[in-house]
Amino acid sequence: MSSSRWLAVFAAACVLVLGLAACGGGGSSSSETSSKESSESEGAGAPSSEASGEIAGAGSTAQEAAQKAWIAEFENANGGATISYDGVGSGGGREKFISGGVAYAGSDTPLSESEGELGKAIKRCEPGELLEVPDYISPIAIVYNLPGVEELKLEPETLAKIFNQEIENWNDPEIAKENPGVELPETRIVPVNRSDESGTTENFTDYLSKVAPKVWTHEVSGDWPVKGGEAASGTSGVIEAVTAGEGAIGYADASQAGELGKAMIKVGNSWAEPSAEAAAKVLDLSKEDPELEKGQKNVIAFEIDRKTEASGVYPIILVSSLIGCTKYNSASEAALVKGFFEYAISPEGQALAEEQAGSAPLSASLTKKVEAAVGAIE
């Protein structure tokens, strides 16, 4: 084959590529609707109002288990409704929501101005308004693997030093001080963190930076900031690493902790253990953050009160939110989103999430606020 022939082949290849690229640009907002949930139980407590149509959501993997359970129950009660939720991660969910790819998103961190997402989301919802409400609260447990140590108490500052690799051995006096009578072995401490970017990391580092600002000087982010620790992917990876390594300590969704020891954290003057109730209480004590709400009536975003000193409260929590609009292109789409949101935040929906995903149900007072916001969907 002569070289001019090859030139022609190459030119044809380029034309083909450009053609494909042009086609790709056209169809941007295709929503996936493929999830067929198997419905196990009768729609006990599911909403009675009939809603129908198809909507798609995407986002946080933390609330994926809860979403699947809600969708199954909701579809069971509303024969004509099809909802799909794609656990692409919070960032991906927010991006898809803003670009109009999905009707709603789930996100472990509220929309914020830092990347201009809040403004873009408000624009996306025009002529309606943006809606953002917490729907999933989950305690993050500090899990450890130390044979023989049944109970471990840690002050916030000590916890921060451990994860900052400043305290390197379990028999360090600073740990021993808070654990009288406990025989701490001379084992190297191996802090385990998430290797993937995650809302759990973001919430945990936010906690550390609030309660131990002198020790934890890193930026709050979903990416673990300290180099050199043991890193594992996903909640299951962290649990696996802590289980495998004697002397390891990590942070993970409390419902996944299994047999591992869970450290008690000092809050005020008492020691708090991760529990659904103690986690839900935190939001009652927290103030809404005007910067995250930006004057939007139906955005409920908290500045979580990590520094609370109240007793019976566990401040290391992850709060995940539902993001939607008050107006959609069609009334039926809006009705479907509204019906689904209402169910998710209802006491029944929250109880289902607690049962299926180990989350903490919204408190009564918060439920009232959230209901009012969701009621704004037209």
Partner 1 sequence: MAHFDTTTNAGQLLAAASGGRRRRGDRIFSNAAVIAAVTILALLVGVAVFLVTEGFPAITASASELPGGESFLSYVAPLAFGTVMAGVLAMIIAVPLAIAVALFITHIAPPRIALTLGYLVDLLAAIPSIIYGLWGIFVLGPAAVPVMKWLEEKLGFLPIFEGPASITGRTMLVVGLVLAVMILPIVSAVAREVFSQTPRKLQEGAQALGATRWEMIRTTVLPFGKSSVISGAMLGLGRALGETMAVAIILSVSGGVTFNLISQSNPSTIAANVALNFPESSGLAINLLIATGLVLFAITLATNFIARMIIARSEVQ
Interacting residues toward partner 1 by CB under 8 A: 1, 3, 9-10, 12-14, 16-17, 20-21, 61, 88-92, 94-95, 115, 117, 188, 190, 192-193, 195-199, 221-224, 226-233, 237, 240-241, 244-248
Nearer CB in complex with partner 1: 74/204: 204
CB-count burial class (<10 Å; 0-12, 13-18, 19+) for 174: middle
The C-alpha atoms of residue 85 and residue 71 are separated, in whole angstroms, by 8
Q: Phi and psi for 126 in degrees, rounded to 5?
A: -60, 145
Nearer CB in complex with partner 1: 37/95: 95
CB of 169 to partner 1, least distance (A): 12
List 7's β-bridge partners, or say none.
Answer: none
CB of 323 to partner 1, least distance (A): 13
Give ∠ CA 370-138-235 in degrees, rounded to 5.
Answer: 140
Nearer CB in complex with partner 1: 93/315: 93
The C-alpha atoms of residue 351 and residue 73 are separated, in whole angstroms, by 12
CB of 184 to partner 1, least distance (A): 17
Nearer CB in complex with partner 1: 18/372: 18
Residues in Cβ contact with 195 at an 8 Å cutoff, skipping those fewer than 6 apart: 224, 231, 232, 233, 237
Nearer CB in complex with partner 1: 10/80: 10
Nearer CB in complex with partner 1: 1/38: 1
CB of 288 to partner 1, least distance (A): 24
Give ∠ CA 240-361-269 in degrees, rounded to 5.
Answer: 75
CB of 235 to partner 1, least distance (A): 13
118: left (phi over 0), alpha (psi -120 to 50) or beta: alpha
CB of 11 to partner 1, least distance (A): 10
Question: In the chain, which ranges are continuous DSSP H helix?
Answer: 3-26, 64-77, 90-98, 117-125, 156-163, 173-178, 199-211, 234-244, 276-285, 290-293, 331-345, 347-357, 364-374
CB of 310 to partner 1, least distance (A): 31
Nearer CB in complex with partner 1: 248/322: 248
Cis, bond preceding 127 (omega within 30 deg of 0): yes
Nearer CB in complex with partner 1: 62/370: 62
CB of 153 to partner 1, least distance (A): 23
The amino acid sitting at 89 is G
